[in-house]
A = this chain, B = another copy of it.
Amino acid sequence: MSQKITREQQKLQTRQNIIDAAFASLDATKSLSSVSLREVARVAGIAPTSFYRHFKDIDELGLTLVDEAGLTLRQLMRSARRRISSENGAISTSVETFVEFVLAHNNVFRLLLREHTGTSADFRAAVLREIQHFTDELTDYIVLKEQTTYSLAQMQADAMVKIVFSAGGELLDASDVQISDITERTKRQLYMVHFGATVLVNKPV
């Protein structure tokens, strides 16, 4: 018995095609604002004007992509936490998970990194929200695991995220040999922050 494709299902499918097409168009040389409605439509296999049946304008598509990217980011967080429970250290495991994520989903991470400093205030705000979620979760984790104050944990998490995300940016242009260097360096830098934070707990400045 062949499935009956309802109109609604078809529309949802096309919408997903547009999103996929947009992500496919987002290589190293394209930003959200430089991706054109016409190109996306071409890749998605629809007429340019049909785009408007699904999104109000190109910016709405952009925000949707940022949301999807944020979702992927939270999956990363979950997957890292699952791995931490094993024998290796939390920092080491987290960094390795993050590196794998960036390399596997480099288009997604590039999107976040680029729009974080991009030309659209809306996109910047959207990315900032996602990063903030990420930082908040890390803060909670630190508060849970370490003996520290909340505000100190916040600063520690913020510093760590900044270091890790910056390293992620380096990964995007890195050669194979550089990747392990960056990974090791980042781990050490997080150790610095970690140790420094415990010092600050006892001896506040």
**Chain A residues proximal to chain B, CB less than 8 Å:** 28-31, 33-34, 110, 113-114, 116-121, 124, 155-156, 158-159, 162-163, 165-167, 169, 173, 185, 188-189, 191-197, 199-200, 205
Nearest CB of chain B from residue A174's CB, rounded to whole Å = 11
Q: Is the CB of A155 within 8 A of B34?
A: no
Q: Is the CB of B114 within 8 A of A117?
A: yes
Q: Which residue of B lies closest to A169 (CB)?
A: B117
Nearest CB of chain B from residue A109's CB, rounded to whole Å = 11
Main secondary structure of the interface of A (DSSP, over half): helix
Besides the known contacts A114-B118, A166-B166, 18 further A-B residue pairs in the complex with CB atoms under 8 A apart: A33-B34, A34-B119, A116-B117, A124-B173, A159-B189, A162-B167, A162-B189, A188-B205, A191-B196, A191-B200, A191-B205, A192-B197, A192-B199, A193-B196, A195-B195, A195-B199, A196-B196, A196-B197
Q: Could you tell me the distance between the alpha carbons of A156 and B163 in the complex, rounded to whole angstroms?
A: 11
Known: A158-B185, A159-B163, A163-B163. A28 touches B121 (CB 8 A): yes
Q: Could you tell me the distance between the alpha carbons of A50 and B199 in the complex, rounded to whole angstroms?
A: 61
Q: Which residue of B lies closest to A161 (CB)?
A: B166
**B residues less than 8 Å from A110 (CB atoms):** 117
**B residues less than 8 Å from A30 (CB atoms):** 119
**B residues less than 8 Å from A200 (CB atoms):** 188, 191-192, 195
14 contacts between A and B (CB under 8 A): A29-B121, A31-B118, A110-B117, A116-B169, A121-B173, A124-B173, A155-B185, A162-B162, A165-B166, A166-B166, A192-B197, A193-B193, A194-B196, A195-B195
Give the contacting residue for A195; candidates B121, B163, B185, B196; CB below 8 A. Answer: B196
Q: Could you tell me the distance between the alpha carbons of A4 and B166 in the complex, rounded to whole angstroms?
A: 52
